[in-house]
Amino acid sequence: MQRLYDFLRRHPTWVDSFWAVVLLGITGASLTSVGGSRESTHGSPAVALPIAVLLCLAVALRRRMPEKMLLLVAAMGGVQLITDVEVMPADFAMLVIIYTVAADGARWASRFSLTGGLAAGTLAQIRWPEAETSALGVVLIAVFQTVPFALAWVLGDSIRTRRAYLAQLEERAARLEKEREAQSKVAVAAERARIARELHDVVAHNVSVMVVQADGAAYVMDAAPDQARKALETISGTGRQALAEMRRLLGVLRTGEHQESGEYVPQPDVEQLDDLIAQCRTSGLPVDFKVEGTPRPLPSGVELTAYRIVQEALTNTRKHGGPNTGASVRLVYFDDGLGLLVEDDGKGAPHELYEEGGADGQGHGLIGMRERVGMVGGTLDAGPRPGGGFRISALLPLKPAH
């Protein structure tokens, strides 16, 4: 049964042709039954039969050429009125064509079919009035004959509206699917950018510590073997820490790796600033660290941002501050946010590293800082400090800015 239904859907003209043949057979039987009496009162069967054939042809081709078949049916209706061929079964094609044009035809054809259908009943009563019927009866009969044409048009127009609604739903679903795909691509790009920032912070900080320690170990290798050994131990610990963080970050890019290696290491927070600063002091950078206000739990995004800003600032101090440079870190808890102030008394970074936020491509660390601060709705100010050195000031709100 399903195969038959699919076949009929694929060949609608064959289905329409079948019903057209059935309608022509019924009309031919009707014309034959009245015989010669129809010629004297309702027109000659020789004239009625070609009209019936053309009306049935319109039924067969209604879905291929709805507008043309509408004009053909209208013309046959006019010929019936002129040649006095009274209503016959083939006139059912008028209802079919009105429905078809209202559902699938052009708008002008739909309006034309509605006008013709509403006028058909009245024209038939004027051309072939019922004998011994009052004027009111003629009007009622005309109205009754008009109702099927109006219903056929309303049904067809309803089908058109429903198809348009379904097409709109399908178009909206396709658009939403494309938007979801676009959002997924944006999310992937954002995640990759986040991983790139994390890798930059991890590599820049830890490698700079290792370079400083390696230079120090080479310098005191002969004079102070204990200090050299301690520097090498620091290099080893820093390298392991860097590898662990890089493995965690790169694991995000590998599907299912977390299932093999266990849970990821938690993201750094402000409580780990003590360890970070102790590591800097061990590498030879004196850092004065103070906390003002009442410490309290903060959103994870704010804590990670604060940690990375301090890490990047101290890394830049080691890179660009020069020898005998000291740094200070201030962490201030406000009622509605967290303040950071990182300063050093070195020679300061080259001007191009902070001009326009490092937009020239050389100050990637400052660009990453600004991106991180912008993600949490905060503000960042970076530049030379009066009297020498470099200053980085950031304010991180506890709620993102609207």
Q: pLDDT category, 35, cuts 50, 70, 90?
A: low
Residues 6+ apart with CB under 8 A from 207: 242
Rounded CA separation 147/150 (Å)? 5
Residue showing tokens 């209208």: 74
Q: pLDDT category, 401, cuts 50, 70, 90?
A: very low
Rounded CA separation 74/150 (Å)? 16
Average pLDDT over residues 96-124: 91
pLDDT of residue 191: 65
- Sheet with 287-292, side-by-side order of all strands: 287-292, 327-333, 337-344, 390-397, 379-384
Average pLDDT, the chain: 81
pLDDT of residue 266: 60
Q: pLDDT category, 79, cuts 50, 70, 90?
A: very high
Whether residue 41 is predicted with pLDDT greater than 50 in this model: the reply is no
Tens-place pLDDT, residues 180-217: 888 877 876 776 676 667 766 667 667 777 777 777 77
Contact 84, 45 (CB under 8 A): no
pLDDT above 90 covers a percentage of the chain that reads 31
pLDDT of residue 263: 43
Contact 70, 124 (CB under 8 A): no
